[in-house]
Amino acid sequence: MAGKSTARPRKLPVYLYIPNIIGYVRVLMNCVAFAICFSNKRLFSVLYFLSFVCDGVDGWCARKFNQVSTFGAVLDMITDRVSTACLLVLLSQVYRPGLSFLLLLALDISSHWLQMYSTFLTGKVSHKDVKDSTNWLFKAYYGNRMFMAFCCVACALHHFIPSRGEAN
């Protein structure tokens, strides 16, 4: 058959997947946000929040466009951990006593590491695969995207809304 191409469509390299490009943008937004965190608090808040929103968008895009990858999962996890760590270190400098924020940082890193490690020990591909878990909280958090989104948004907003008696 002359004129018909038998070549298969080229597969996109994993580095150019849409969710990974969103991940790169998140990294850039976080770098800018933390570089200006003391000089422009409003812009810092906007950039950090947009990065937070993009964290949900990249996962949605990965599933929607079938562009799920180990590279993307690692990029997402590292970006999440580093941005949370930077925020907690920043808050430990602004609010006293800072030790409570550093303890939260240790809890965040250790809990995610343990969850990832236990996932791989059981042979699962994703740390979000909790179908056979006996822990009701894991099932509620990872099994219901709306509940997970609510928890993430509430946690992020908690860091930005001053409690009673704190100055703005």
Task: CATH number of the domain at 115, please.
Answer: 1.20.120.1760
Question: Looking at the domain assignment, is residue 165 inside a domain?
Answer: no
Question: Looking at the domain assignment, is residue 135 inside a domain?
Answer: no
Question: Looking at the domain assignment, is residue 146 inside a domain?
Answer: no
Q: Annotated catalytic residue: which of 55, 58, 80, 108? A: 80
Question: Looking at the domain assignment, is residue 124 inside a domain?
Answer: yes
Question: Looking at the domain assignment, is residue 91 inside a domain?
Answer: yes
CA distance 128 to 163: 32
Question: Looking at the domain assignment, is residue 137 inside a domain?
Answer: no
Give how far Cα 148 sits from Cα of 12, 50, 51, 56, 164, Å.
Answer: 30, 17, 17, 10, 27
The answer to whether 55 is a known catalytic residue is no
pLDDT digits over 98-147, tens only? 788 888 888 888 887 887 777 777 777 666 666 777 777 777 777 777 77
Which candidate, 86, 89, 24, 33, places its Cα nearest to that of 55? 24
pLDDT digits over 62-78, tens only? 989 999 988 998 899 89
Number of structural domains the chain divides into: 1
CA distance 77 to 62: 14
Domain span at 114: 14-130
What's the predicted TM-score (pTM) here?
0.70
